[in-house]
């Protein structure tokens, strides 16, 4: 039979309130009583119920995980999966557990994230970006619950966010093409109404202008960051009479889709057309040829998100958003001259 705090109190000859005070390190209890209660707890291997401990300490050591948006990355996206796994390990080392929130109905009726966070006495939330962000996400970010966004700008009183410096991604790619005498560049971007997509798009266009490279509108297409959209975009590019010398896809998955389309048309990579992606997901190392890409430092993003959220929980509300520098990783799908 599971022991209760009343059972421990009865064994020790004290009140349940005294046991609770001892377990939560309150003062005003004699050392002899404290040692007696601790010995009984150790001998019986008593573990307080989570809800009782949470109410007593006003801390649950739980962090809510929200995949935001009506269209969200969920568990399928290799980039976000690695970031969240690193976050999970980092907050675990800090003593937290994760609670994943569904964006479906809560219990029998519609419920907001804020209500659920209060229901579970959540200490803080990690919010991962998606598309068509719900108003409920903005509501929790504006509340007094500490929130950390990944690829999602949050500006609430106890909120901050972290992302790769996405504008630099396009600059690194275009600069590499320019240094290797590539002048005709095609672009496969993400959704145009997405924050991250728009920043990457702007970064690419700005870099092309900076280096004086011509833009061919027929070589600019937009997908949704996944393989099929990259495949279809590349098919359209290859229908043109003139082909580009290189293609930059704003995600590795779109680049891998583009690679498949190129192979089906007998295009040599990088002999006929060079190809660069973005994210540095695991598949890049094993594609044929291995994919040159812009690496987002997923481990740094995950660790920084964990430590920054912990700081917010501890009361440091003066944190500023952080942008992590990307890194170009050269493999066999592009040419270094």
Tens digit of pLDDT for each residue in 262-307? 999 999 999 999 999 999 999 999 999 999 999 999 999 999 999 9
Rounded to an integer, what distance in angstroms lies between the CA atom of residue 215 and that of residue 47?
A: 66
Query: 62-164+299-324, superfamily in CATH?
Result: Response regulator (3.40.50.2300)
Over range 146-151, report the average pLDDT.
94
Of the chain, the percentage scoring pLDDT greater than 70 comes to 91
Tally Cβ neighbours within 10 Å of residue 98: 14
Q: How far apart are CA 66 and CA 104, in angstroms?
A: 11
Q: Give start-end residues of each CATH 1.10.260.40 domain in the chain.
A: 5-57
Higher pLDDT, 47 or 148: 148
Specify the DSSP element, H or E, that contains 289. Answer: none
What's the gap between Cα 326 and its chain centre? 15
Which residues belong to CATH 3.40.50.2300 in the chain? 62-164+299-324, 166-295
Considering only residues 230 and 4, tell me which one the structure prediction assigns the higher pLDDT.
230
Question: Which pLDDT score, from 0 to 100, does residue 102 have?
Answer: 73
Model-level pTM? Answer: 0.77
> Which three-class secondary structure state does DSSP give residue 24?
coil
Distance CA 107, CA 101 (A): 12
Tell me how far apart the alpha carbons of residues 134 and 138 are, in angstroms, rounded to a whole number. Answer: 7
Region 166-295: CATH code: 3.40.50.2300
Determine the Cα–Cα distance for residues 311 and 238; give it in Å rounded to an integer: 50
Strand ordering across the sheet containing 292-295: 220-222, 185-189, 246-249, 274-279, 292-295, 327-329
pLDDT (0 to 100) of residue 114:
86
Q: What angle do CA 66, 323, 250 make, to 5 degrees?
A: 75
Query: Whose CA is closest to 258, among 288, 286, 228?
Result: 228
**5-57 belongs to which homologous superfamily?**
lambda repressor-like DNA-binding domains (1.10.260.40)
Q: What is the pLDDT of residue 107?
A: 37
**Alpha-carbon dihedral sign for residues 295, 302, 78, 167:** negative
Tell me the pLDDT tens digit for each residue of 204-260: 999 999 999 999 999 999 998 899 999 999 999 999 999 999 999 999 999 999 999
- Centre a 10 Å sphere on the Cβ of residue 187 and count the other Cβ atoms it contains: 26
Q: What is the pLDDT of residue 106?
A: 41
Continuous segment of H or E residues that includes residue 16:
helix 16-23
pLDDT, the chain, mean? 88
* Relative orientation angle of helices 5-12 and 31-44, to the nearest 10 degrees: 130
When pLDDT is cut at 50, 70 and 90, the band that residue 22 belongs to is: confident
């Amino acid at each position: 039979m599971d022991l209760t705090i009343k059972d421990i109190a009865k064994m020790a000859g004290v009140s349940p309130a005294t046991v609770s005070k001892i377990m939560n390190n309150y003062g005003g209890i004699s050392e002899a009583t404290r040692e007696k209660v601790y010995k009984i707890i150790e001998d019986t291997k008593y573990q307080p119920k989570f809800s009782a401990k949470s109410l007593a300490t006003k801390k649950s050591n739980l962090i809510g995980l929200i995949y935001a948006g009506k269209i969200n990355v969920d568990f399928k996206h290799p980039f976000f999966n690695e970031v969240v796994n690193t976050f999970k390990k980092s907050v675990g080392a800090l003593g937290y557990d994760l609670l994943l929130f569904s964006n479906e109905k809560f219990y029998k009726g519609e419920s907001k994230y804020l209500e659920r966070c209060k229901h579970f006495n959540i200490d803080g939330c990690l919010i991962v970006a998606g598309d068509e962000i719900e108003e409920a996400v903005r509501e929790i970010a504006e509340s007094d619950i500490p929130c950390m966004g990944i690829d999602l700008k949050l500006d609430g009183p106890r909120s901050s966010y972290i992302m790769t410096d996405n504008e630099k991604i396009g600059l690194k790619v275009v600069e590499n093409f320019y240094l290797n005498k590539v002048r005709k560049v095609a672009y496969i971007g993400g959704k145009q109404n997405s924050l991250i997509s728009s920043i990457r798009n702007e970064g690419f266009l700005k870099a092309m202008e900076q280096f004086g490279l011509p833009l061919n509108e027929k070589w600019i297409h937009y997908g949704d960051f996944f393989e099929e959209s990259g495949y279809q975009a590349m098919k359209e590019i290859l229908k043109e009479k003139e082909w580009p010398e290189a293609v930059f896809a704003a995600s590795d998955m779109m680049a891998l889709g583009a690679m498949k389309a190129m192979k089906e048309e007998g295009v040599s990579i990088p002999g006929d057309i060079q190809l660069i992606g973005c994210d540095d997901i695991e598949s890049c190392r094993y594609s044929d040829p291995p994919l040159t890409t812009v690496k987002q430092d997923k481990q740094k993003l995950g660790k920084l998100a964990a430590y920054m959220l912990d700081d917010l929980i501890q009361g440091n509300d003066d944190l500023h958003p952080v942008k992590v520098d990307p890194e170009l990783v050269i493999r066999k799908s592009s040419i270094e001259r």
